[in-house]
A and B are shown apart, each in its own frame.
Chain A
Amino acid sequence: MAVASDAATALRPLDPAYVLKEAGAVAAIVFALSISLVGFKTEDVPGGITVVTRFGAVAIVTVIAFFGRLGLILLREGRPFPVLVTALPFALALFALLLWDQLFAPEIGLRRFLPFGDIIVNWLLAIFAAILAGRAAWTFRHEPREQSAEEREKKMDRVVAAPVQRAARLVGPLLLGFAIILPFLPIADRRLLDIGILVMTYIMLGWGLNVVVGLAGLLDLGYVAFYAVGAYSYALLATHFDLGFWICLPFAGIMAAFAGILLGFPVLRLRGDYLAIVTLGFGEMVRIILLNWYDFTNGPDGISGIPRPSFFGLPFVRNPPEGTETFHSFFGLSYSPIDRIIFLYYVILLLALATNAFTLRLRKLPVSRAWEALREDETACRSLGINPRNTKLTAFAIGAMFGGFGGSFFATRQGFISPESFTFIESAIILAIVVLGGMGSQIGVVFAAILLIGLPEFFRELQQFRMLAFGATMVTIMIWRPRGLLAHREPTIHLSDEKTPTGHN
């Protein structure tokens, strides 16, 4: 590997046939995929839909893939120069065009020089070109050195994950402080608070699922089921029995935990892909039951009029029924609709913090180590006297419980729920947050949630490409850092004489 640094830096000759073959193969794959995905598009027209073809875009995509791969090959073979001189001007030109387009918009018709109709795709292309150019420039200055995946993993662990985890002790409180004062900052408008609430909901769900996936290593693709159970538990209890949010919350958690155990039993013997498939099915089953059990769940019509949480019994309403004290009248404030949003914001912050505290505490308990051990070697665990069934069920139940809490919150925030809200994509998003963040990492979940939920909400334009970006990010991370962004495990136990500085021997 590192031997190549002396006189033998002479470049390997390139075999044009091989290079063309590789780049061509990539282009062919891209062509085959994009001909159906990009090439045909349905469009609504009055009186139905028609199919529009976009073969131009397919051609462009294929050509770009060809040249992109060519660039990567050249970089790999230690020839950054041609890459730099093509990728850099290309990226610059594209950025210039895009900026021009943003600033002066359509008046000056430069848009037709952009390769794609969608602005955001052009941005992506420009970014990729810039990355390629950057890598070329980097190879210029540094000896190209091949790293094995393992070395890179180790290095990332040392250079990024471990310090970040350590910094998390600092960043965590900082983020928390920011989260606490956010509603009172001048930038906090309704939209930002809504995004904040959404992000924190997913952080909470991520932490909950982290117990199952990150600690116990059970790949759960049906987490949304517990979210749904929690939401419906609260909605039904609240609308039928007129119970408040805080009273229903534990019930919703228990119901969801129960659902977790119910799912856990049949899947005890499964692992890996098989487990993932069954849990996926479970998630769909719950949704379909909600959809079809009309008498109980109101089916596709959903449940509306779910009560909002109150502040120690003080509701947030403008015109209360006669004789009812409200939040604003009690505190002598004038009514403002944002009060309720701020309150919801703090409720979810509180729930998320409770989840964090609980799961952190959990990690210090024997059961958490048993989960990790179970993930590493189930047979060895058995022979150490661990009951795998109970241990796994505990993980499912605890993870599900937090899903249930999150679901209750969702229900009370929306005021209306229907099976629509609990589709597979939710499970996928939560799982992506956990996996991207680095399984088992608390702060990683926070970053991943901000990245995956917060940013797309900001860049609404990306919306239709969200799943694409999602997939791309996942694949990148799988290649670059298969164990997740911040996967780094701190030992949980030391000798007792090491905790106290005096007892050193």
Chain B
Amino acid sequence: MLKVSGIHTFYGNIEALRGVDIEVHAGEIVALIGANGAGKSTLLMTICGKPQAAAGQITFDGADISRLPTYQIVRRGIAQAPEGRRIFPYMTVMENLQMGASMTDPVHFEDDVERVFTLYPILKERRHQRGGTLSGGEQQMLAIGRALMSRPRLLLLDEPSLGLAPMLVKQIFRVIKEINEQQDVTVFLVEQNAYHALRLAHRGYVMANGQIVMSGTGQELLANEEIRAAYLEGGH
């Protein structure tokens, strides 16, 4: 479904991605783990075309998307819940969701909102509250909900568990699984919380210094000694 090959991305003359290859198949949950500053967010953003890759190719459903502007990429069925959530703080929950549905046929709107509210009932209670007044967890739910409103086939999530209490983390991951299984959305998940992410994912990649250093099934990676030492010690 998504194929990233030989991607190099620069910020000025800092090379943040140094030849990254990744593949995500339809129906999967794929996790990308790595330390802070490894280039995980940069990869997600490069997939979305901002910043654009300096070299390499990104294909989505076989079509090259690496030169398209962001809004055209996402209109093809990719949605992103970006790092830091980036919900619209002055808009209500409903309006945020509506923004997510900007590019879809309005006839789906009611159903889609209902779908999001089923996943996150708390959002229904908060629907008239401004985004900025929600708690961190609720904002994350809203960010994911907003992304789902565009009816994506591929959902990109950037550290959805960041800064959340353990209880909430569990809930967020459970819902990601639900989204994947029941709504048939492929998920590409970036996480520092390697334990939860790898348990959830079908497959995983490990990134360090802008390169993929390891890959395998979630189980394999969880069992790997190096990974245990680097990302899981003291975790969960």
Contacts and interface: CB of A to CB of B under 8 A. Distances in A.
B75 interface: yes
Interface residues of A, number: 24
Given A376-B88, A495-B94, A495-B127, A382 B99 contact: no
A384 B92 contact: no
A342 B236 CA distance: 77
Given A379-B82, A380-B86, A495-B127, A387 B71 contact: yes
Nearest to B110: A496
Contacts of B92: 491, 493
B90 A384 contact: no
Contacts of B90: 372, 376, 489
A380 B158 CA distance: 13
B150 interface: yes
A491 B71 contact: no
Contacts of B98: 366, 369, 493
A150 interface: no
B128 interface: yes
A491 B86 CA distance: 19
Given A376-B88, A382-B70, A370 B102 contact: yes
Given A369-B99, A370-B99, A373-B99, A383 B91 contact: no
A491 B146 contact: no
A107 to B, nearest CB: 60
Nearest to A381: B99
Given A370-B99, A377-B86, A495-B127, A382 B94 contact: no
Contacts of B110: 496
B89 interface: yes
Given A491-B94, A493-B94, A496-B110, A382 B128 contact: no
Contact of B74 (A376, A384, A489, A496): A384
Contact of A495 (B69, B74, B88, B113): B113
B91 A376 contact: yes
A474 interface: no
Contacts of A489: 90
B87 interface: yes
Contact of A379 (B86, B95, B100): B86
Contacts of A388: 71
Contacts of A377: 86, 88
Interface string A194-220: 000000000000000000000000000
B82 A493 contact: no
Contacts of A369: 91, 95, 98-99, 102
A386 interface: yes
A351 B89 CA distance: 35
Contact of A373 (B48, B71, B88, B113): B88
A179 B129 CA distance: 37
B127 A384 contact: no
A42 interface: no
Contacts, number: 80
A494 interface: yes
A256 B162 CA distance: 48
Contacts of A370: 99, 102
A496 B127 CA distance: 12
B71 A386 contact: yes
A492 interface: yes
A385 interface: yes
A377 B48 CA distance: 16
A384 B146 CA distance: 9
Interface in B63-105: 69-71, 74-75, 79-80, 82, 86-92, 94-95, 98-100, 102-103
A495 B127 CA distance: 9
B50 A385 contact: no
A373 B90 CA distance: 9
Contacts of B88: 372-373, 376-377, 380
A2 to B, nearest CB: 22
A256 B87 CA distance: 35
A386 B102 contact: yes
A92 B129 CA distance: 49
Interface in B197-228: none
Given A383-B74, A386-B103, 8 more contacts: A369-B98, A376-B89, A377-B86, A380-B82, A383-B80, A383-B86, A384-B102, A494-B128
Interface of B: 48, 50, 69-71, 74-75, 79-80, 82, 86-92, 94-95, 98-100, 102-103, 110, 113, 127-128, 146, 150
Interface of A: 366, 369-370, 372-373, 376-377, 379-388, 489, 491-496
25 contacts: A366-B102, A369-B95, A372-B91, A373-B88, A373-B91, A373-B99, A377-B86, A382-B48, A382-B74, A383-B86, A384-B103, A384-B146, A385-B71, A385-B74, A385-B75, A385-B150, A386-B71, A386-B99, A386-B102, A386-B103, A388-B71, A491-B94, A491-B128, A494-B128, A495-B127
